[in-house]
Homo-oligomer: A and B are copies of this chain.
Amino acid sequence: MAIKKTLLEDIAKELNVSKTLVSMVINGKGDAYGISKKTQEKVLSKAGEMEYTPNVFARALRTGKSHLIGLLVADISNPFYSNIAKHVERELAAKGYNLMICSTDENVEREEKLISLFAEQHMIDGLIIATTNTSGEFFSKERLRNFPIVFIDRYLPDIESNYVVANNYQGSYELTDLLIHKGCKNILALNITPSHISSLTERIKGYKDALTKYDIPFKDDNLLEVSFNNIQKDVREKLLKRLKQSPKIDAIYALNNHIATACLHVFNEIGYDAKKEGVLFASFDDINLFDFVKPNVISVSQPVEQIGVEAANLALHLIDSKNSESFKKIVLATSIISRN
């Protein structure tokens, strides 16, 4: 038997005023609607006394605004995403918005279902998303066309959109450049396939362009593609095979943190000592524990906090400015952590 909640009407009755007035005052529009200061105070104090809190559903139903922003990520257990989530949440909280985080489990269907529920239903006022979708088709739907959406981490090249991403090309280029400077000529890159994801294609491009700069020919043998659904097994298989082939590699470059972790597992399993073999190990995406893992990890660190903050503010901006001017594309610099 739940306690009856205090309603606007209850306060109104207590004070012998209309609930209209109470609503206006509670929403801080007392002055705008010319409610006397004295009355405003009465209402506010009574509301406090009666522990009034508005019913979010009634409010959202009428106003079409929920003051809720959705964050959809592929996998909330990935520290890259959970760190972004933390910063988005902080930034939004400061602005009076709440964040609803959902993990799609790398499942496109689930992602689309959640977007339908949240965005089309206007359950949320805006959406921040690291999409797992391969094309922009879904987002081009009439109903979503005018919904405030901010892509993070990845964007879809076939549609115009607002996004906040790290400069994947530049980061990968610099990392490769560093490896080359450290004397590497046979850098084995491990990527995810199918790599329709913008961040990954750009990392590959940066890698290749850096090679080109130093006249190092790119060899197909030095780019292993591992299946997205089976990273661990694939990395194991292909890496083991490649390690036996010549020309011998002098660096291993994992294109994201999942692959990096998978490589570490393989090293561990076969007792591979990269240092002894004279092989450098690098990873795009930094994990703070990399500071302590055995093969030294040279990594590209993404500005996680900045991504979160910028994405939050961009989302809020889009919500405020209904007339969708131009699309905002924010590209943030990465930094190399070399851990000599």
Contacts and interface: CB of A to CB of B under 8 A. Distances in A.
A197 B267 CA distance: 38
Contacts of A83: 77
A261 interface: yes
B86 A75 contact: yes
Contacts of A267: 292
A102 interface: yes
Interface string A297-324: 0000000000000000000000000000
B79 A77 contact: yes
A86 B76 contact: yes
Contacts of A60: 57
Contacts of A265: 291
**Copies of this chain held together in the complex:** 2
Interface string A260-282: 01001101100000000000000
Interface stretch (A19-27, A110-118, A168-176): A110-118
A66 interface: yes
A47 interface: no
A125 interface: no
A99 B102 contact: yes
Given A3-B142, A261-B289, A293-B292, A117 B56 contact: yes
A163 to B, nearest CB: 22
A103 B85 contact: yes
A132 to B, nearest CB: 15
A264 B294 CA distance: 13
Contacts of A291: 264-265, 268
A105 interface: yes
A57 to B, nearest CB: 4
Which of A1, A2, A51, A58 has the most C-beta atoms of chain B within 10 angstroms of its own C-beta?
Answer: A2
Interface of A: 1-3, 5, 51, 53-58, 60-61, 66, 75-79, 82-83, 85-86, 89-90, 93, 98-103, 105, 110, 114, 116-117, 120-123, 142-143, 146-147, 261, 264-265, 267-268, 287-295
14 contacts: A3-B143, A3-B146, A5-B120, A53-B121, A56-B123, A58-B61, A76-B76, A79-B82, A85-B101, A99-B102, A261-B288, A265-B291, A292-B293, A293-B294
Given A53-B117, A76-B82, 7 more contacts: A2-B146, A53-B116, A57-B60, A57-B122, A77-B79, A85-B101, A294-B294
Query: Across chains A and B, which 4 residue pairs bring their CB atoms closest together, nearest first?
Result: A101-B101, A292-B293, A57-B61, A82-B82
